[in-house]
Amino acid sequence: MLVPIQTLFEAHLHVSNLPRALAFYAELLGLPVAASFPERGVAFLWAGGPGKSMLGLWDIGTPPQRLELHLAFSVALEDLLKCVETLQQSGIQPLDFNGEPTDGPVVLAWMPAAAVYFRDPDNNLLEFITMLHDPPRPDLGVVPWKEWPHMSRPNDRVHTGTAMDSEMDLGRRKQSVNAPQIRLLGISGSLRAASTNTALLRAAALVAPPSIEVAVWEKLGSLPHFNPELEGDLPAEVREFRQHVASSSGIIFSTPEYAHGLPGVLKNALDWLVGGSEFIGKPVMLLNASARGTFAQESLIEIVKTMSGRVVHKASRIVPLLGKSANAASLASDPTFAETIRDGLTIFSNAIAAMADHEQGPDEG
């Protein structure tokens, strides 16, 4: 046995009309869109949940890797790292993303996943693939595996499955001494699965500069109804929420507007913070997925100020997403979007550093 195969991970189909096919598979069959690249005429959808298995839809004339359609098999990372040598010993030529001979796996950074390609006796293209636990980096495209640990974020753990792990961790710890990290908590005011506000925050996490980490809190719906009588014995969900707020360098809010106001789920979460000290003095950045949602933004700003938060207006951004895909990877692949959000995150990071240095500013312009 060459490599122990876990599951069939990936399959691809040619389609004559990509938007129509997306409507069928995403809306009718309910497969979540993993990424969409209209300029390439391709979209990927998760099956069984993110990272479980994937379906690729290709407009006729746009095959993957500039080659024919292929099958991908999920394998363990340690087996993937050994498979190049195993394939060669079996007389099979390992291939890279572009179908060229290779001496190591490649990383599809937008997922991210490590992969090795090869052909069967009938010249069908096959792939061994392993999903990685590192943050997606759609800006990197496809990179050699040996370069991935150095190109992914400095403080992120890249599990190589080799003895290099401890040495790489030590190097990262040394590197991080002079590289202060800004850890931001993203909070969406929407519980919708296809929320553009949530997608906006997830995309911000994808395009953030290496010194900034954005973690999106997606358990707002689990918070119980606010009850001030429970302050002495907080529910576990509230304690967890407050801990995340306390440990973050700043908060990014992105919320829809309902009836000229904030969604109840977001106001409920903010009410749970009033009785604690976690939010006091916390820097806040606002992302707005609609230029028309001004009432909710104004209401949120007033609430944040009342709770002694610090709104950094210069970092806040309006990114109109009406009619656009509520998919983080697709948004992050848009150069204009990426630059707009990255610029806001950089300004926010600098403002946080200035506040920490000078302990100043009720409201940072």
Find the CATH number of the domain harbouring 116: 3.10.180.10
- Residue 321 contacts residue 290 (beta carbons within 8 Å): yes
Identify whether residues 30 and 117 lie together within a single domain.
yes
pLDDT at 1: 65
- Which residue type, as a one-letter code, is found at position 129? I
Residues 287, 230 share a domain: yes
303 vs 28, 190, 206, 299, 352, CA distance in Å?
40, 18, 28, 6, 20
Decide if 204 is inside a domain: yes
Shared domain for 131 and 269, answered yes or no, is no
Q: Is the pTM of this model over 0.75?
A: no
Q: Report the SS3 class of residue 53.
A: strand
Domain assignment present for 364: no
Are 191 and 168 part of one and the same domain? no
- The letter for the amino acid at 282 is K
Residues in the chain: 365
Give 112's contacts (C-beta < 8 A, 6+ positions apart).
131, 132, 134, 135, 136, 137, 148, 152
Identify the domain boundary among 174, 190, 222: 174
Domain check: are 324 and 291 in the same one? Answer: yes
Answer for the pair 289, 192: CB distance below 8 angstroms, yes or no: no
Distance from chain centroid for Cα 139: 12
- Pair (219, 136) in one structural domain: no
- The pLDDT value recorded for residue 223 is 93
Tokens of 19: 């938007």
pLDDT tens by residue, 159-173: 333 433 433 333 443
Phi-psi group of 333: left, alpha or beta (phi > 0 → left; psi -120 to 50 → alpha; rest → beta): alpha
Residue 166 domain flag:
yes
Looking up residue 233, the CATH number of its domain turns out to be: 3.40.50.360
Q: Given 156, 174, 192, which residue is the final one in a domain?
A: 174
Cα–Cα distance for residue pair 333/110, rounded to 1 Å: 9
**Which pLDDT score, from 0 to 100, does residue 165 have?**
42
Of 139, 158, 174, the residue at which a domain comes to its end is 174
Residues 261, 189: contact at Cβ < 8 Å?
A: no
Rounded CA separation 94/277 (Å) = 56
Question: 163 and 295: one domain?
Answer: no
Q: Tell me: do 138 and 215 sit in the same domain.
A: no
Contact yes or no for 342/139 (Cβ under 8 A): no
Based on the domain organization, do 52 and 152 belong to the same domain?
A: yes
Give the count of alpha carbons within 13 A of 23, CB side only: 4
Domain containing residue 56: 5-174
pLDDT, residue 304, reads 93
Residue 365 lies in a domain: no
Let me know whether 78 and 202 are in one domain. no
Neighbours of 124 (CB within 10 A): 12
Structural domain total, the chain: 2
Main-chain dihedrals φ then ψ at residue 354, nearest 5 degrees:
-65, -40
For the beta carbon of residue 347, count every other beta carbon within 10 angstroms.
Answer: 18
* CA of residue 350 relative to chain centroid, distance: 22
Structural domain contains residue 363: no
What is the token pair recorded at 329? 């990877």
Decide: residue 82, CB within 10 A, 0-12 exposed, 13-18 middle, 19+ buried. middle
Which residues in the chain land under pLDDT 50?
Answer: 62-67, 154-180, 360-362
Distance CA 304, CA 288 (A): 16
347 and 305 within one domain: yes
Shared domain check, 262 and 230: yes
